[in-house]
Amino acid sequence: MAHADYIFTSESVSEGHPDKVCDRISDEIVDLIYREARKTGVDPWSVRIACETLATTNRVVIAGEVRLPESLMKENKSGEQIVNAGRIRSAARRAIRDIGYEQDGFHWKTAKIDVLLHSQSADIAQGVDKSHETRDANANDINEGAGDQGIMFGYACRETPDMMPAPIYYAHKILELLSSARKKGEGEVAKLGPDAKSQVSIRYENGEPVEVTSIVLSTQHVDPSWDSDKVRKVCEPFIREALGDLPIADDCVWFINPTGKFVIGGPDGDAGLTGRKIIVDTYGGAAPHGGGAFSGKDTTKVDRSAAYMARYLAKNVVAAKLADKCTIQIAYAIGVAQPVSLYVNLHDTGSGVSEEEVEKAIRATVDLSPTGIRRHLDLNKPIYAKTAAYGHFGRKPGRDGSFSWEKTDLGPKLKAAIKAA
């Protein structure tokens, strides 16, 4: 029987955290390439991106392999087609500026940016462009193979309105409110810096979140005279607003800038890398993670697209009231279109349905190949920069097609498939 009474903790980091700066730059480049493909009439299905970013004191290094529209290429002195590094640098500088870095050790204008992107490996491309399987007899409808082997997980529960685990939901919300207020530039909160981390511990009774037992916040500030008490005075109203109706325990322990002064932040204080905050990006440790990062990757990479589909499926199972909690695993082999396995766990909360019935219903209603996922969720769009901070899940679907995996439109089809079986 599952542990029913416990305390669980999750953390979040702000968009100005060094690793998140790198995630944002990588995803801005993903968006740039998709945007340019659509603008110039290039088939967005042909785009390939695997972009990694490193950031440190006034230095950004962007590396990886890509297949780009011609408009993002240029000819070098030898007549070879190479990546137009100027367009990539501009996208990176815009991202750093929007985050808010204008400090001596890391400034969007003065940071040196190295672009080391090169063409995608032909060996990898052949496995992705044409899989070992065909969708049907139509030779023009050959599924893409998965961009790599791997396992991806999706999760949903009833703890919050967005069907996310409560600790990560509230940890994100605290930082989102502080970031929004900082950027508006009103009052003393405008003296906060971009770099911040939060952590929320929640006590559960009978598996339900009942109160917050500890709150940790470390946030950069530009006024070196501020101490921990001052930071708490500025930030506490936003923390309480973020927690909303969730009670704060009378003996809740608050750790606000517990080490004291936090003036030097971002990549100047600590180097950052793309893909180092995968638990922050997903479920805060409340559910399994396959290990693959999301940012900087096009959606042939199942690390990204299949994780989105797994969340979409789990959320729809819960939204359709087939269960109160759902974990889904999907596994792939490189170059093979259809997953090698699909696993569903309803955590003993199923409403008269079994895991086997849900698995069969999913396979009957959704094409889980990379092609099918990209079509179903409409992923070939410049919608990824906004995923780079405050989680890829539990967000509101946008009119631009962003966060389509958070829609709950599949429930009726799943129910019909179960009934028809």
Q: Which two tokens stand for residue 54?
A: 């490193």
Q: Is 301 a catalytic residue?
A: yes
Q: Is 65 a catalytic residue?
A: yes
Q: Is 403 a catalytic residue?
A: no
> Which residue out of 197, 325, 376, 392 is catalytically annotated?
197
> Which residue out of 8, 15, 20, 195 is catalytically annotated?
20
> Which residue out of 11, 19, 31, 195 is catalytically annotated?
19
Q: Is 208 a catalytic residue?
A: no
Q: Is-contact 217 239, C-beta < 8 A?
A: yes
> Which residue out of 11, 52, 211, 406 is catalytically annotated?
52
- The separation between the first and the last C-alpha atoms of the chain, rounded to the nearest angstrom, is 30
- CB within 8 Å of 41: residues ≥ 6 apart: none
Give CA separation, 163 vs 154, 189, 310, 312, 314, in Å. Answer: 12, 30, 14, 11, 10
CA nearest to 273, candidates 37, 29, 56, 5: 56
Q: Is 39 a catalytic residue?
A: no
Question: How many other CB atoms sit within 10 Å of the CB of residue 339?
Answer: 22
Q: Is 95 a catalytic residue?
A: no
> Which residue out of 230, 276, 289, 386 is catalytically annotated?
276
> Which residue out of 301, 325, 374, 381 is catalytically annotated?
301
297 SS3 class: strand
> Which residue out of 38, 59, 63, 65 is catalytically annotated?
65
Let me know if 180 is exposed, middle or buried by CB neighbors in 10 A (0-12, 13-18, 19+).
exposed
CA distance 309 to 357: 18
> Which residue out of 98, 188, 236, 270 is catalytically annotated?
270
> Which residue out of 8, 11, 15, 17 is catalytically annotated?
17
CA distance 45 to 62: 23
Q: Is 419 a catalytic residue?
A: no
408 SS3 class: coil
Strands across the sheet containing 341-345 = 150-157, 325-332, 341-345
> Which residue out of 24, 48, 173, 277 is catalytically annotated?
277
CA distance 152 to 93: 32
> Which residue out of 303, 324, 357, 406 is catalytically annotated?
303
Q: Is 262 a catalytic residue?
A: yes
CA distance 266 to 220: 9
Q: Is 386 a catalytic residue?
A: no
274 SS3 class: coil
Backbone region of residue 329 per phi and psi (left: phi > 0; alpha: psi in -120 to 50; beta: other values): beta
> Which residue out of 8, 106, 238, 262 is catalytically annotated?
262
Q: Is 148 a catalytic residue?
A: no
Enzyme catalytic residues? 17, 19-20, 52, 65, 197, 262, 270-271, 276-277, 297, 301, 303
